[in-house]
Amino acid sequence: MARIEPILSYEHLRQLPDDGNRYEILEGRLVVNPAPGTRHQKVVGALYAFLHRAQDAGYGDAYVAPTDVVLHPTEAAVQPDLLFVAKNRLHIVTEQKIEGAPDLIVEVLSDSTRDRDLGVKLRQYARHGVRWYWVVDPDAEEVRVFAWRDGAYEEQPVLRRGNRLGCQLFPDTEVDTAKLFE
């Protein structure tokens, strides 16, 4: 007997209760994320301060979770830890959500999200043309950078303490990777 599953949309997501969890649709399936831990949030704060410097320099706008990003109405609606939309693409930002692929998405790994962030989210972000995807690992104190080229991600060299993190989106804004993990 065939199993028929409902197709979920962003509108279904909007109707879910505000219960402290983060809800996303990945490959058409509902995913529930518990609230992140304190170390995770400290790293998110350091990254937001860095991205906010790029925003202050006029390169675009930075956002921190929970911000809805609708990559596809029924396939992918996510709430990445952080994201950045370049100045020339701010038309995708609405009052309620980001409609389309941001230029940069950042996910900070935790035990409950590690496999998803490096699996289905990596695939979704590549499929929908997110130009830069950073995966930040607080335990290993490293940043994995994926650059979208010719319809797929190319992983750049892993950044660790002593390296500088930057992006072509904001060429004169960098941070010492070690600062992210203090």
Question: Residue 20 pLDDT more than 90?
Answer: no
Has residue 162 been placed in a domain?
A: yes
Query: What's the CATH code of the domain at 135?
Result: 3.90.1570.10
Has residue 32 been placed in a domain?
A: yes
- Looking at residue 4, its pLDDT comes to 65
Has residue 125 been placed in a domain?
A: yes
**Average pLDDT of 11-28?**
80
Has residue 4 been placed in a domain?
A: no
Query: Which residue(s) pair with 35 in the sheet?
Result: none
Q: How many domains does the chain have?
A: 1
Closest-CA residue to 69 (of 151, 149, 129): 129
pLDDT in tens, 79-127: 999 999 999 999 999 999 999 999 999 999 998 899 999 999 999 999 9
- Whole-angstrom distance, CA of residue 49 vs CA of residue 55: 10
- Count of H-run helices and E-run strands, the chain: 4, 14
pLDDT in tens, 30-72: 888 778 889 999 999 999 999 999 999 999 999 999 999 999 9
Contact 78, 121 (CB under 8 A): yes
pTM score, two decimals? 0.90
- Looking at residue 22, its pLDDT comes to 81
| Cis preceding linkage at 66, omega within 30 | yes
Has residue 93 been placed in a domain?
A: yes
Question: Residue 2 pLDDT more than 80?
Answer: no
Q: For residue 110, give its domain range.
A: 10-181
